[in-house]
Amino acid sequence: MFGASLGSLSLKDLQPAAAQKVEATPYRHWEDLYRQRWTWDKVAWVTHCVDCYPGNCPYRVYVKDGVALWEEQAGRYGVIEPGVPDMNPMGCQKGAGWAQMLYAKERVLYPLKRAGERGEAKWKRISWDEALTEVADAVIDAIQEVGPESIVHEMTGAQGGPLALGAVMRFIDLVGGLSMDLDAVVNDFTPGMYLTFGKIFASSVDDWFHSDLIYIWHMNPAYTRIPYYHYIAEARYKGAEVVTVAPDFSPSAVHADHHVAVKPGTDAALALGMCQTIVEEKLYDAAFMKEQTDLPLLVRVDNRRYLRESDLKEGGSEEQLYFFDANSQKITAAQRGTLALDGADPALEGSFSATLADGRPVEVVPVFELVKERLQEYTPEKASEMCGVHPDTIRMLARKTARMKANILLGFNSGKQYHGDLQERAMCLLLGLTGNWGKKGTGIRIWSAGPWPGMISGAKLKPGAEGTEEVTRMIGQMESALRAQDPTLSHELAITELSTRMTSMSQLAAPVFFWYYNCGYRENWNRREWNDPSMVRSFDDYMEEAQDKGWWQGNVRPNKDTPSRVYIECGGDTLRRTRGGQTQLLKHLWPKLNMVVNIDWRMNTTGLFADIFLPCTTHCEKINFHFSTVHTNQLVFNDRSVDAPGEAKSEPEIFRLLCRKIEERAKARGFLEYRDSRGLPKRLDDLYDRYTLMGEFAQDDAMIREWVNDGVITGILPEGTTMETVREKGFIRFVDWGSSPMAVNQGSDLLPNETHCPLRHHTEKKLPYPTLSRRAQFYIDHDWFLEAGEELPLHKDTPKMGGDYPFVLTSGHPRWSIHAANMINKIMLNTYQGRPFVFMNPDDARAKGLEEGEEVRVSNDMGSMITHVKISPAVRPGQVISYNGFNPCQFKEWQDAANVEPGMVKWLHLAGGYGHLRFRPMCWQPVPVDRAVRVEVAKID
């Protein structure tokens, strides 16, 4: 190797490229390198296909020699509705710094196998073939030992966008494993909205501009909606008033007209206090209430159940409900196929007599009478005692809401409260009384998926247009069959029904059963003192009843006989994300698992405790789209502009290779077929062909191209759209919802020149809602709800989850990260303290003898974390705020906030067998909560 002669040049990591500049221009000084600096090998479209909702910010990425060096907001969205500001520039500091993460220190570039104990961080670099063989054998072992449902994937929208999510779900579907419902896994739920409307929905962000009164409630858009916050400011310049409702003086309160400092967890009392004023002062919109809501529907006084057709005649329907028509003076069946009253005038008030099938008379009253009765407990003075808001403020807000176009910007905070459902139902009641939905600038919003071309592509049995037409024809036929069976079904209701039935044929599971049987939560959920007192029986009893009654029948779900054996994490981080985190899962789940495989671009906590780590590409290393949402209604493109470093592969490629390897190992082991939990036969010897649709989707580009083509064929993308036009323009506005259920549930047309306001089909076309009553439903007469006294919204105190401790721990998204994604991005770390902390009120800090920045232990009966205290008068006494997303590695002892969260679920959310109360992905099932957990905060000696 060594010698006195020059020998030959030996290059491995560098290679000769273009002509040397040094030949033409001798090198004098490093500044020579920067001549003509703003020149690039490539400028491409990029977006951040992660758990950033609504996101969809188009960026330009600047590439030199295969490295993405800069990102810049594109700012190219057009005006949708004349007179309404456009959405530009779109983007935030996290997006601008995203490329940094491709080159982050925690990036993993080669397949790894654990070389020590789980969590010991001893790794062996292995080849892809070795890694996939290990995983494939573990998958086959699990199927042979327990069954395919022991192969578990918890869906997250985290790091890989639709490309990754589709890849892993297709794999799970084909082998018969379990995919845990995404929104339940990440705890983004709005159960109260679902109880009321039978669906979830959102307006486009530019629709906020039309509002007169904007409530920022359970939300902090100054932090979390940076690209869209300008609509709040612009609406305000136009004359709108902005109200923040939050326990703390949140960053969004700074620019509000009114800040309402509600006590944590008492929002229902506030909303009901406003409702009481509106009813008391007769400010309500009676016509709206009669047409759109269940408030005129009759309830039997004797058993508090709706008056049903089955009460009035033998064999009558359980779902046909009634109102009292003031014009005909008769009890009249409420039409199920339309909200139009056809000349009837449903009474909101009064007491009537109905004759039961056996001839007995029974007293019935409209729901509104019961609402009025309940509201007597919520005079502003009484409500004030509960929520801490002055009665005058409650009245003032009530009057404004009644006369203005009011819009509640709801975040995913409410659903993370134990009684968040009651809070949301009370807010919906406020809007229902005042006619505040279904017209521009009004309503309540949460996240919602938009049209999605990949939905059809994923269901195809043949590639190309023929396969697409086959699927759309099948959907059309099934819809027609459903509507023939029940002519009262609208398109929306039929698609909703269809999607629910399709779910029960898929491998999508409600994770509550997984957590209960496999992850050790049963003990916590049975603790009476951590639950509401109206849970009169043990959690076990409710769980048993829900299953015995068949409310969850038909859907795949883990049970005590199906211990999990293979856990696939792809883009998420269950040991950080899950409430209870390491405390619960390492103790209860991990010992059951024979294989933990983590697919990610970086080492995270789950990766650290994995057996096999498979490195994947991220961001601009793979072609992708952002998850579409109705907030923007754009299909936003992410091009592959750089190659991945090391040996990282895209998720679809990883699963294609895994299918190939399973096929190979299955043949070698002579194990080719088995039956899944439904008894359906499954084969392993043609897995790759089925996964890739006979090799048609053997490349990511082919899949993406197919999505675009399918989008055009199904009419959700404009005619003439091609992969080339997408690549050139970077984003395309959708022109129709297609048959994606969440998009159809918007209940409005997607118009080319108007902001999107949901529920207009109900208010303008009088189409029914997908609820039991076919109306917006405030009264839920399910037995469990009646038992709990929750048939109507009310305020209940949050139970002392975690133990009887003096502080309530609340949370929210930080400004500097999308969940944990950007949390250790060096640039973001420089925009704040760069370490975990909790906010605390100065009086509380003084009482505890704490100084700014001091280390504290936050603890309860679950566990503890060590963090720093940040003292702020913006926090109310008794409250401690810990922002979401800090990584365990940022804490001493690696114990983050998840370790004090018991992950309680509300038992009532197991209810089913009642109209819209049945398992619906992203909408209805029990989901762990984490807000207002009780903790102690103590100085560390």
- Binding positions for other proteins, rule: CB under 8 A: 1-7, 9-23, 26-30, 32-34, 64-67, 69-70, 99-100, 103-110, 112, 115-116, 121-125, 603-605, 607-608, 643-647, 824, 826, 887-890
Taking the complex as a whole, the smallest distance from the CB of residue 888 to other proteins amounts, in Å, to 7
Taking the complex as a whole, the smallest distance from the CB of residue 650 to other proteins amounts, in Å, to 15
Nearer to other proteins, 14 or 484 (CB): 14
Q: Characterize 895-933 residue by residue with b for buried, 16 or more Cβ atoms within 10 angstroms of its Cβ, and e for exposed.
A: bbbbbbbbbbbbbbbbbbebbbbbbbbbbbbbbbbbbbb
- Are 490 and 767 contacting, i.e. CB atoms less than 8 angstroms apart? yes
What's the rounded Cα separation, in Å, for the pair 707 and 701?
A: 10
Nearer to other proteins, 266 or 605 (CB): 605
Nearer to other proteins, 42 or 491 (CB): 42
CA angle 558, 563, 569 (to 5 degrees): 80
Taking the complex as a whole, the smallest distance from the CB of residue 620 to other proteins amounts, in Å, to 14
- Would you state the structure tokens that stand for residue 207, as one six-digit string? 């629709």
Taking the complex as a whole, the smallest distance from the CB of residue 390 to other proteins amounts, in Å, to 47
- Are 693 and 683 contacting, i.e. CB atoms less than 8 angstroms apart? no
Side-chain half-sphere exposure of 834, counting CA atoms within 13 A: 7
- Are 605 and 596 contacting, i.e. CB atoms less than 8 angstroms apart? no
Taking the complex as a whole, the smallest distance from the CB of residue 65 to other proteins amounts, in Å, to 4
- Would you state the structure tokens that stand for residue 265, as one six-digit string? 């967890």
Contacts of 56 (CB under 8 A, 6+ apart): 47, 90, 626, 628, 629, 631, 632, 634, 636, 731
- Are 57 and 48 contacting, i.e. CB atoms less than 8 angstroms apart? yes
Beta bridge partners of 64: 67
Nearer to other proteins, 743 or 823 (CB): 823
| DSSP H/E element including 365 | strand 361-366
For residue 700, CA distances in Å to 51, 67, 655, 692, 711 come to 21, 21, 11, 10, 17
Side-chain half-sphere exposure of 836, counting CA atoms within 13 A: 26
Nearer to other proteins, 103 or 855 (CB): 103
For residue 17, CA distances in Å to 21, 65, 67 come to 11, 10, 15
Residue 604's Cβ-count burial label (10 Å; 0-12, 13-18, 19+) is: buried
Nearer to other proteins, 11 or 484 (CB): 11
What's the rounded Cα separation, in Å, for the pair 731 and 45?
A: 9
Nearer to other proteins, 17 or 484 (CB): 17
Nearer to other proteins, 28 or 560 (CB): 28
What's the rounded Cα separation, in Å, for the pair 342 and 689?
A: 56
- Are 744 and 495 contacting, i.e. CB atoms less than 8 angstroms apart? yes
Cis check: omega of the bond before 54, within 30 degrees of 0: yes
Nearer to other proteins, 35 or 282 (CB): 35
Taking the complex as a whole, the smallest distance from the CB of residue 33 to other proteins amounts, in Å, to 4
- Are 586 and 597 contacting, i.e. CB atoms less than 8 angstroms apart? no
Nearer to other proteins, 49 or 644 (CB): 644
Taking the complex as a whole, the smallest distance from the CB of residue 63 to other proteins amounts, in Å, to 10
Nearer to other proteins, 4 or 484 (CB): 4
Helix axes 464-485, 491-503, angle to 10 degrees: 110
Nearer to other proteins, 108 or 657 (CB): 108
Taking the complex as a whole, the smallest distance from the CB of residue 562 to other proteins amounts, in Å, to 31
Helices of type H across 340-390: 367-375, 380-387
What's the rounded Cα separation, in Å, for the pair 202 and 212?
A: 17
Q: What is the DSSP string of 314-347?
A: TT--SS-BEEEETTTTEEEEPPSS----TT--B-
Taking the complex as a whole, the smallest distance from the CB of residue 87 to other proteins amounts, in Å, to 27
Taking the complex as a whole, the smallest distance from the CB of residue 164 to other proteins amounts, in Å, to 21
Beta bridge partners of 43: 62
Residues in the chain: 941
Cis check: omega of the bond before 89, within 30 degrees of 0: yes
Nearer to other proteins, 2 or 237 (CB): 2
Nearer to other proteins, 26 or 83 (CB): 26
Taking the complex as a whole, the smallest distance from the CB of residue 122 to other proteins amounts, in Å, to 5
Contacts of 546 (CB under 8 A, 6+ apart): 552, 910, 911, 912
Nearer to other proteins, 158 or 713 (CB): 158
For residue 806, CA distances in Å to 168, 466, 796, 906 come to 43, 64, 18, 22
Taking the complex as a whole, the smallest distance from the CB of residue 594 to other proteins amounts, in Å, to 22
